[in-house]
Amino acid sequence: MVTPEQVAPGQTLSVDVDGVPPAEAGPGVLVRALPGVPGVRTWVVDLAPGAEWPSLDVHEACSEGYFVVSGEVVEGDRVHGPGTYVAFGPGTSHRPRTETGARVFGFNHDLPA
């Protein structure tokens, strides 16, 4: 996956999310890595209808959160629709999927070493 640009102190950066080249994480799963600040990785994921994250996403050394922009994301037996924010603490795992297709905006916080 492409390493995104870091936003420097005093810098303001604006990007067209759809203009960021996506990387395919798995069938029907496109990830766009966005500029971020040290310790925070920011991304947008587009899931095609019927797509599933390719493997179990384990959060041992970070926490993760995402906001459902459109569509629905299924986590276990819970369905998260547009406007829903989902957060995972360190020591968690999940494997999101969708029946409808979805776009999510998210971030990972790296834990201090």
pLDDT at 111: 65
| Token pair recorded at residue 72 | 């629905």
pLDDT at 86: 94
What angle (nearest 5°) sits at the alpha carbon of residue 97, between those of residues 39 and 62?
20
List all residues 6 or more positions away from 28 whose beta carbon is below 8 Å from its beta carbon. Answer: 47, 48, 49, 50, 51
Beta bridge partners of 42: 34, 107
Domain range annotation of the chain = 17-110
pLDDT at 10: 82
Which region holds residue 73: left if phi is over 0, alpha if psi is between -120 and 50, else beta? beta
> Which of 111, 69, 61 lies closest to 86 in space, CA to CA?
69
Sequential pLDDT tens for the chain (113 residues): 445 677 777 878 888 999 999 999 999 999 999 988 878 889 999 999 999 999 778 777 788 899 999 999 999 999 999 999 999 888 888 899 999 999 999 998 876 65
Fold held by 17-110: Jelly Rolls (2.60.120)
* Cα maximum dimension of the chain: 43
pLDDT at 110: 78
| Token pair recorded at residue 51 | 């797509």
